[in-house]
Structure 1
Amino acid sequence: MSQVDLLVYDVGSTYTKVSAFNRQGSSLMFVGRSQAPTTVENIEVGLIHACHNLARDLQWDAVVSSHTLATSSAAGGLRMVGMGYMPRVTAKAAKEVAMSAGARVLEIISHETPVDFRIEVLQEIKPDIILLAGGTDGGDQDSLLENAEVIVRSKVPSVVIIAGNTEAQPKAEEILKTGEILTIRVPNVMPTIHELKVKPAREAIHQEFIRQITRAKGLGRLLEIVSTGRVIPTPGAVLMGAELLALGTHEKEGHGNILVIDIGGATTDVHSVLADLVNLSKEETGLVVSNEKQLSYRTVEGNLGLRVSATGIIETVGARGVLAKIGLEGEDLVKEIQAYTQYLEKNPGHISRHEKELNFDKALSISAIEVALKRHAGYFAQSFDPILGIVPGTPVGRDLRKIQRVIAVGGIFAHSTYKESMEILRKSFADRGISLLPENPMFEVDHNYQLYTIGAMAEEYPNEALALAENNILNNEV
């Protein structure tokens, strides 16, 4: 039996991963990682198997740890609805907060939506969490109170995070209590039209994630194993890892603007952290509605994945368009890739082995990443908008042109050669079009799935986590 100083688990919907680390002086050194299929019926079995596989790979009898951390997406992520005042302002702010926390945002409801339809949406979705925003501090109160009444009338068993106008929050809480609804109050997510306060609401979402995952069989045991009593949603941990890399710590300087592409079997996530924006004044940041100058931003393409959502890539890009990414064409190949993606949807655990399937995976990856990038990034306006004062050529939305580093995460990269990974990334960025994509980034690959562990460590071991990321991810650039 061998003891390590730190184990970090990630309980995913398909695989449970574990990474081991040892201390050397003031640094943490990567020891090894392994995985095993996630056992949905009892999560603990997958944890045990992953740790057993790690011991086997390291040629040890067993692995024990003095400290354990964990992330998870096994419960499918928290189902969330955001409610706000104006659809382009506080409702959109609610979505940004939820996305940065790693929740699944299923609907955004604004004050303009008819009340009966709001109730119908809540009853149909039955969200785990409702993020109730609305009104800047000192501004509108009516929308927050009306939406609180809507939630009570819907009778959904949701936890409500009240994150709107601070002056209206006590009244909203009283309304929700009449419906015996559990509430959590946090500072206003948008205290002014120039400012987003993400962290308090994000922390509340993470805490609710911990409470709710204990309902899944075996995940309660995961909480007993972790030293902190805290399990972070995996997408939230990835974003926290990116933030640490970009911003650094009090003692260590960060690495500037970073873009993370995380492609999995079900989704393609894109995270961007623009460190250049940290010291902007509120006025320089501009209106929250524009999204363009927020420090951290995450988008999720739920229909673009390499297994469960593979047919979504074909539906979005077209079979011929996907094949063209790697220079292939022909009706026979069109039929073959269509059949292949349909097979993957029904058999998400399939591992591609022969050359044709590997090429199909490569083409699907390039297509999914390109679409996800362009949906995440802003663009150059092509027409006049006199209301917003936009003329052709004006940059609109998230400006990624000054991104210095692009980090690729996901199985397709972990199991490809470095040359193959670089080919996927370069082709994904080849057709910039009118999008505000990075102009000359360094491409780096997270071969050992370390970014989620970096995020999990970020609060407890910030300096060690940053050094670990530098040694295991940033040293792979070309």
Structure 2
Amino acid sequence: MQGNIVVYDVGSTYTKAAAFRLEEGKLSFLGRGQSLTTIENIGKGAKRAEESVRKQGIELEKDVKRYSSCSAAGGLRMVALGYMPRVTVKAAKEVAMTAGARVMQVISADEPLNYRREVLLEINPDIILLSGGTDGGDEKCVLENAEMICKLPSQATVIVACNKSAQRKVSQKLMKAGIRCVCVPNILPTIHELRVKSARESIHEQFIRQITQGKGLVEFREGLADQRVVPTPGAVLLASELLAKGTYEEEGIGALILVDIGGATTDIHSVLPELEELAIEERGLVINNEKQFSYRTVEGNLGMRVSATGIPETVGTEAIIHAGGQNCKATGEEVLRFACHLETYPDYVPQTEEERVLERALATCAINVSLRRHAGHYAKVSDPVMGIMAGTAVGRDLRNVGKVLCVGGMFVHSDPEEGKEVLEHCFENPGISLFPVEKPQIVLDRDYLLYAMGVLSRHYPDAVLRFLKEYVEEGVEQI
């Protein structure tokens, strides 16, 4: 069977290539390969990754269509300027989620103008997110920020996502000063609602503009069927959203959690389709709810390699030893030494069973902490101001989730049963956390295909959804 689709993922270390056959609405996975990413010319690494697929005996059609995601650019530096502190923080994080941007600083109107100016000069961001005011609300703050930006020697692109009444005045000021700006719908039209899709897509475009400045990337994009290279975390989230929600033609599988543990961070996504049916008023105020259809949290100090020491610093060595079970004979000092070694040598692969037990214990603790920070909880005490009684469910409610998808190197390279055990330990003893009521089904992305599914979902959603549903069911049966 010849492949007619190839999807790349250009990472900082490796470039992956996955080959597929799409015929009569059915998508089939043929194989995948990888090669070291070639910083001097990104196209060379992609060709080598594709060649590693061919060496497995997989033939590709002459007119094969190629697509790509990318995480090699390192993320755009973004500063968010807004009106109210807590609202601006939440909106900025939601906009940046999976869009290829890193929120370096969030600044509200409470900060003096001189401070705002100094932050922008020091960070020199690639993107400035200019928010502030619900539609018909405050205009003064965003106009003040626009005037300040006009006086700075900045090359940043300004995404104007503020009160719609002020957008025209703001964009005119910026354009007159020769500053590149993009106007998108207000990310906070009412106090009950966040609308981040348009702003996020604008960041995608800036992400693509940045990576195309690298050597060979212009030529690489020209060889793709779709030149809209998707940031890798965004591609993974697109796949999980499609799988949970479904399409007009094909039903999804419902609420799910996606655990993505990497060398530097542990990311948790949850997709809860039932929340789309809530009226705006039922969602509550934006500043204190997580009732979005799709939600992601990132723990930047909990990773399996370059931030490995962050795990014992967060939970303590005793918790890691306990997570390792009866097979873990390490002392606290040995746990710290092993974490330091992983951080110093990120390419290191555990050589002994004792080291493998420790690695699984570190992963268990990283995922457990990340899940508890992502999930909501039962309130311990009443809060009359917020209208919360003791015992009330607050925050992200995961009680009805039925499946947990797992992404990351440890799930690709470890024994399936061991990977499943790591996740099952994480959901034990939920305490006050709003974890799934019934034991969820665990699915390991052992072929590392979710990124590819997210990229292809933009073009072949029904075929991708059918493939994903079969992929998930096979994953459940194999464990």
TM above 0.5, yes or no, is: yes
- Are 1:384 and 2:382 counterparts? yes
Does the Cα contact within 8 Å between 2:134 and 2:189 map onto a contact in 1?
yes
Structure 1 residue 124: Cα displacement: 2.4
Structure 1 residue 154: Cα displacement: 4.2
Does the Cα contact within 8 Å between 1:52 and 1:63 map onto a contact in 2?
no
Does the Cα contact within 8 Å between 1:422 and 1:443 map onto a contact in 2?
yes
Structure 1 residue 176: Cα displacement: 2.2
Please state whether the residue corresponding to 1:217 is helix, strand or coil.
coil
- Are 1:131 and 2:126 counterparts? no
Tell me the equivalent position of 2:117: 119
Tell me the equivalent position of 1:410: 408
Tell me the equivalent position of 1:18: 17
Tell me the equivalent position of 2:4: 5
- Are 1:248 and 2:262 counterparts? no
Does the Cα contact within 8 Å between 1:91 and 1:134 map onto a contact in 2?
no
Tell me the equivalent position of 2:189: 191
Does the Cα contact within 8 Å between 1:109 and 1:118 map onto a contact in 2?
yes
- Partner deviation per Cα, 1:29-57 (whole Å, 9 max, x = no partner): 0001111222333322321221122222x
Does the Cα contact within 8 Å between 1:119 and 1:153 map onto a contact in 2?
no
Matches within 5 A, 1:285-434: 285-327=283-325, 333-434=331-432
Structure 1: distance between partners of 2:379 and 2:60: 58
Q: Unaligned stretches of 5+ in structure 2?
A: none
Tell me the equivalent position of 2:95: 97
Structure 1: distance between partners of 2:104 and 2:399: 30
Please state whether the residue corresponding to 2:304 is helix, strand or coil.
coil
Tell me the equivalent position of 1:209: 207
Structure 2: distance between partners of 1:100 and 1:457: 17
Tell me the equivalent position of 1:47: 46
Tell me the equivalent position of 1:444: 443
Tell me the equivalent position of 2:106: 108
Structure 1 residue 430: Cα displacement: 1.5
Structure 1 residue 394: Cα displacement: 1.7
Question: Which TM-score applies when normalising by structure 2?
Answer: 0.94
The residue identity in structure 2 corresponding to 1:49 is R
Tell me the equivalent position of 1:32: 31
The residue identity in structure 1 corresponding to 2:49 is A
Does the Cα contact within 8 Å between 1:249 and 1:462 map onto a contact in 2?
yes
Change (3 A) 1:316 1:329: farther
Structure 2: distance between partners of 1:328 and 1:436: 28
Structure 1: distance between partners of 2:328 and 2:235: 42
Tell me the equivalent position of 2:459: 460
Change (3 A) 1:438 1:306: same
Please state whether the residue corresponding to 2:164 is helix, strand or coil.
coil
Does the Cα contact within 8 Å between 1:145 and 1:168 map onto a contact in 2?
yes
Does the Cα contact within 8 Å between 1:4 and 1:63 map onto a contact in 2?
yes
Does the Cα contact within 8 Å between 1:82 and 1:95 map onto a contact in 2?
no
Structure 1: distance between partners of 2:229 and 2:242: 18
- Partner deviation per Cα, 1:370-393 (whole Å, 9 max, x = no partner): 111111111112223221122221
Please state whether the residue corresponding to 1:470 is helix, strand or coil.
helix
Structure 1 residue 329: Cα displacement: 9.5
- Are 1:73 and 2:77 counterparts? no
CA RMSD of aligned residues (A): 2.0
Does the Cα contact within 8 Å between 2:88 and 2:106 map onto a contact in 1?
no
Change (3 A) 1:361 1:64: farther
Structure 1 residue 337: Cα displacement: 2.5
Structure 2: distance between partners of 1:126 and 1:313: 31
- Partner deviation per Cα, 1:145-184 (whole Å, 9 max, x = no partner): 1222333344332111111111101111122234422101
Does the Cα contact within 8 Å between 1:28 and 1:464 map onto a contact in 2?
yes
From 224, 228, 232, the equivalent of 1:230 is 228
Change (3 A) 1:154 1:276: same
Report which stretch shifted further, 449-458 or 109-118: 109-118
Q: Unaligned stretches of 5+ in structure 1?
A: none
Question: Which TM-score applies when normalising by structure 1?
Answer: 0.94
Matches within 5 A, 1:143-162: 143-162=141-160
Change (3 A) 1:90 1:71: same
Report which stretch shifted further, 218-227 or 248-257: 218-227
Does the Cα contact within 8 Å between 1:14 and 1:349 map onto a contact in 2?
no
Structure 1 residue 453: Cα displacement: 1.1
Does the Cα contact within 8 Å between 1:5 and 1:23 map onto a contact in 2?
yes
- Partner deviation per Cα, 1:175-204 (whole Å, 9 max, x = no partner): 223442210111111111122212211211
The residue identity in structure 2 corresponding to 1:19 is A
The residue identity in structure 1 corresponding to 2:407 is V
Report which stretch shifted further, 418-427 or 30-39: 30-39
Does the Cα contact within 8 Å between 1:7 and 1:65 map onto a contact in 2?
no
Identity of aligned residues (%): 49
Report which stretch shifted further, 284-293 or 263-272: 284-293
Please state whether the residue corresponding to 1:23 is helix, strand or coil.
strand
Structure 1 residue 63: Cα displacement: 7.9
Structure 1 residue 254: Cα displacement: 1.1
Please state whether the residue corresponding to 2:190 is helix, strand or coil.
coil
Structure 1 residue 61: Cα displacement: 7.6
